[in-house]
Structure 1
Amino acid sequence: MRTRFAIKTHALMERLFPERRLFLRSDSDTRFIRLRPETQAIAFAGGSLVVAWTIIATAILLMDSIGAGNFREQAKRDQQTYQQRLNDLSQERDSRAAEALKAQDRFNTALEQVSIMQSQLLDSETRRREMETGIDVIQTTLRDTMKRREELGTQIAALTAQIEGDGVGLAAAGAAQSDSTLNFLSDALSRTAAERDQVIADAQDALVRADEMATEIRTMEEKNDTIFRQLEEAMTVSVKPLDKMFQAAGMNPDRILDQVRRGYSGQGGPLTPLSFSTRGGADPSADTARANGILGQMDRLNLYRIAVQKAPFASPLKDAFRFTSGFGYRWGRLHAGTDFAAPQGTAIYSTADGVVVHADWQSGYGRLIKIQHEFGIETRYAHLSKIRVKVGQRVSRGDRIGDMGNTGRSTGTHLHYEVRVGGEAVNPMIYIKAANDVF
């Protein structure tokens, strides 16, 4: 059976590939090479495979070339779009920074106006207390004057009765003694009448002065109400955005302010409530309550001013830069900060008041600075080319601490900036954006 199959196969091969002979002739001899059907079939199959492989490989190369070209074009377009977006963000950041500076100037101007208005308020309250004291004195003087007037009237009546009753005795006592007594009584009556007239005149002057002071007090009360209203509006406009800023940063404003109040020392701290009483006791008047409410808001504003310096709401760069990488997971690993790209040696600034706890080389961070702030917050500044602070050094917000570089595990010149709360990394842009929305 195998023989029969082989014969049929050989017959088919001979029809497709008949036997051929290749003659090789020389000057003295002739030889030939016999090409059997099987040999021709193998050669044909091998050639076909080579041609097919060449066609397929060429097609694959062409497809890869076309795809790579499209990919490069798409990558180039994406890069241009990304660069344009970065430039837009940089321009927006610059405009936000300019707006923040203007807002800071307006904020400082408002604080100065609030201080002036507070001084005017205290001066007006002092004058009002003096006027109230003057009115009390005038009223006391008026009561004493009226009492003295009544006493003088009684004395005049008694003297008149005495003159009338002793008229006969005086005539008998003699002309000289009578004239002397009458002269004495006449002088006494004249002095009494003059004192009475003076008392009446003083009383009238006191009443006129009291009316004038009452009018002036009403005018001052209206002025005080205007000042109170302006101060309350200024405090509301100033304090509410700061409340929102701390809340946007995930910080409890009341807890932060309590911590600042407990640890505060120096000037400009908590304000003492006012008491406008002229008798030294507590004055429950509405003006006192309003004034103390304004002072409470001013105390809160002052504590916010201190807290803002101690929390990292500022940007670590003041020069132009580009955001190159944000906070979040990247290739399955957490990128624990935000990257800012700028030229080599760009100045790096502290974003809040604090103490330097690390200023040296650390693994992939390269040259690294760590600053410990209040409220359990720590900031990190990595890949620096130069460190300008030492461990244990106390720095303030805006102090230059280093220069941008490309040290450690870095693919280009940039700053890697981290914020950690209680040791856990948080997005630094939460604080920067919260401050941009306010200032």
Structure 2
Amino acid sequence: MSLLSTEITPDQINRYQEELASRKDAAVLERAVKKNGILATAQDDAANVDMTPVFSIDLDTGHVANQKQSGRCWMFAALNTMRHDMKDTFNLPGDFELSQNYTYFWDKFEKANYFYENVLATADKPLDDRKVAFLMTTPQQDGGQWDMICAIIEKYGVVPQSVMPETFSSSASSDINGLLNLKLRKDAVELRELVANKASRAEIDEIKDRKLQEIYRMLAYTFGEPVQKFDFEYRDENKDYHIDRDLTPKSFFDKYVNWDLSQYVSIINAPTDDKAYNKTYTVEMLGNVVNGRDVKHLSVSMADFKKLAIEQLQAGQSVWFGCDVGQSSDRKAGIMDTKVYAKDELFDVDFSMSKAERLDYGESLMTHAMVLTGVDLVDGKPTKWKVENSWGDKVGNKGYFIMSDAWMDQYCYQVVVNKRFMSEDLLAAQAQDPEMLQPWDPMGALA
């Protein structure tokens, strides 16, 4: 018997039809939306005027990368922030890139092991348990978090793109992702059966080792086997020739990137009731490297969030950040602004929700990571931000986007900053042990 009790009646429909017929502009708007679509009809060109690409702080970061048909924005954004420093330090050419394919290989490999360990940890739970169901929905994917790329680099280092370039599937990942998820789900069946049959951990590890061997082979065929030793050869911006021989990925990172990754931390603004400011949080079952760096977020006010980003930009360093890029965003023009589409005016409907409400009710979460490379300050206050995307140079202003400060307030959730820009109070807060959030918490979303 249904618990639902109120159906739509013919009288209601008649009232709705009469209300629509009474609107003088209804027929005009219907024709416009039917012909042009919602976004084109609702677009407000005034946003283009406000978002002129001029900034009081504007870092020269060179060539814009292109992740193509893959979900590696978090990885591109992180490697971009590192290459920006390398470009300045070593006078590298503007089109120099670190190999996203190299870190991609190791992320996929480590995610497989991380999935197997989570399968074993939840093997005593029924398949309809929410955590098991969550795990099986997407065994692995392209997305990730800042701490996850740090975990990969800390274990495997980085290499120039020239020694491990892109492949067909690194730039168009749907086929390999589908095949990996098929294999991982199939392997989950066997691993859960082993636990149910009281197999020893040694027996399980032997079988898991064979499965990881198969994963390694799949990834090697798809992305190429990761380089172990290489020469770094390049001409700098002055056309001077350089070569550095017999480098390993870790020695290359130590010499050419030379970042202490432990000093770069995740700062979030998610003003929901369960995330107090100046407290730290982690997310259950979120990660890639078993026994590697854990995901850890420090929750702060939006004022502190922006202050930290601005100070890092003022010091000449770009800022990794995560946002909900699809909200109120014109991809072709490269404009992210709360006023870019007047959808509420078009439909005469109030679409407004608070930032917390959007997070709590599933309307928004972090979907994309990019890099802040500039900000326009007027009387010390930000009005708009310059954003380096990873969608190539055919969108926006040669690949760069403009984000209004109002858009940042509503749809930006994460920045990564060096601890040297944090106050003593924030440093003390960041040092706290994190509270564990559920696996499906929006702050566990993968960019």
TM-score, normalised to structure 2, is: 0.20
Larger Rg: 1
Question: Which one has more relative contact order, counting CA pairs under 8 Å at least 6 apart?
Answer: 2
More helix by proportion, 1 or 2? 1
